[in-house]
Structure formats: structure tokens, C-alpha cells
Structure 1
Amino acid sequence: MPSCKELRQELVNCMLKSDCVLIKRHTVKECLQPEHVNDVPKECQSIRRSFFECRRGLLDMRTRFRGNKT
């Protein structure tokens, strides 16, 4: 999804700096699971939400022709 590429990279960078990855030695995929939500900073959680909304906007027929809101 080309229009969400920047958000995805920002999320990965944020997750790589989190305690879940650095201290607890989980993968980024594992840290995105609900059981590790307390180990992920609020900043990464908000970026994740924005990435979800971006991806959803690409598939939502109502906004597909209008484009994603930025």
C-alpha cells in the first residue's frame, strides 16, 4: 500500500526502539500482539492506530475515490 508506506516505516522504527524489543527481546510482530500492549509506548500505539486507519481507508469504498484523510 504505497500511501501508507511512511506510516508503516514510522511504526517499525518506533517499535524497534521500544522496551518490548530492546529489553524483553520480542520481535516486532510479537510486540504488536494484545498481550504485550503494556510494553509498547503510547506513541507507538497511536502510530499503529493511524496505520490501521490508513489501511482501512484504502479498502473502504466510501473513501476510496476521495482518498485518505491526512
Structure 2
Amino acid sequence: MPSSCKELREALAQCLQESDCVMVHRNSAADCLREPLVQTLPLQCQQLKKGFGECKRGLVDMRKRFRGNMPVTYRTLETSEGGKGYQLRHTYPEY
């Protein structure tokens, strides 16, 4: 289903598990998503967090109720061109 945020959630969880905040400093993933520890996360995790938040907001946004969220395929972004230099967004393209 295109309106599901499941793929972004899984990607965010994986990124958090591999981050220094969890692996080295032994904080919980929930603590790493809150201030001030969120600033210590890698840029990719911060982008995933923002994209996941926008996706969840889009589920209750009445303007997107009929169209649904734009699906984000994280796995294709991860493998394309080395996986660097992209920004996760689930907005509609400009016409």
C-alpha cells in the first residue's frame, strides 16, 4: 500500500541500530531520536527521521486523504549512485 510508512520506519530503525549513539554510547534508539542526542546522529538518519515524520503526518492530512502519500522507495535510493547525495522526500513532483 503506497500510504504505508513501513519501509521508512524499517530504514530508520536499521540506521539507528548502526549509529554510534546506540552502538558506542549505548543509548536506546528512542533516546537517540530526542534532543540533544538527535544532533549526534549521522545525516542519513536525520533525513530518515524527517521523512518518516512527514510520512506519518501525511497519513492524517486531509489534503492527501484521497491521493495518499507519495511512496518512497528507500532501497532504490540506497543502491543508486553509491547511496550518497540524496534527500528523502515523499512529496509530489512539481508540474
Listed one character per residue, the Cα deviations across residues 20-42 of structure 1 (whole Å, up to 9, x for unaligned) are 00010000000000110232101
Structure 2, unaligned runs of 5 or more: 72-95
In structure 2, give the amino acid aligned to 1:66: R
Identity %, equivalent residues: 48
Alignment correspondent of 2:25:
24
Alignment correspondent of 2:15:
14
Higher Rg of the two aligned structures: 2
RMSD across aligned positions (CA): 1.2
SS across alignment from 2:70: coil
Q: TM-score, normalised by structure 1?
A: 0.92
SS across alignment from 1:3: coil
Structure 1, unaligned runs of 5 or more: none
Higher helix residue share: 1
Alignment coverage as a number of residue pairs = 69
Alignment correspondent of 1:34:
35
Runs of 4+ in 1 over 3 A off after TM superposition: none
In structure 2, give the amino acid aligned to 1:35: P
Q: TM-score, normalised by structure 2?
A: 0.69
Listed one character per residue, the Cα deviations across residues 27-63 of structure 1 (whole Å, up to 9, x for unaligned) are 0000000110232101000001110111011000011
In structure 1, give the amino acid aligned to 2:69: N
Question: 1:51, 1:6 → 2: CA distance?
Answer: 9
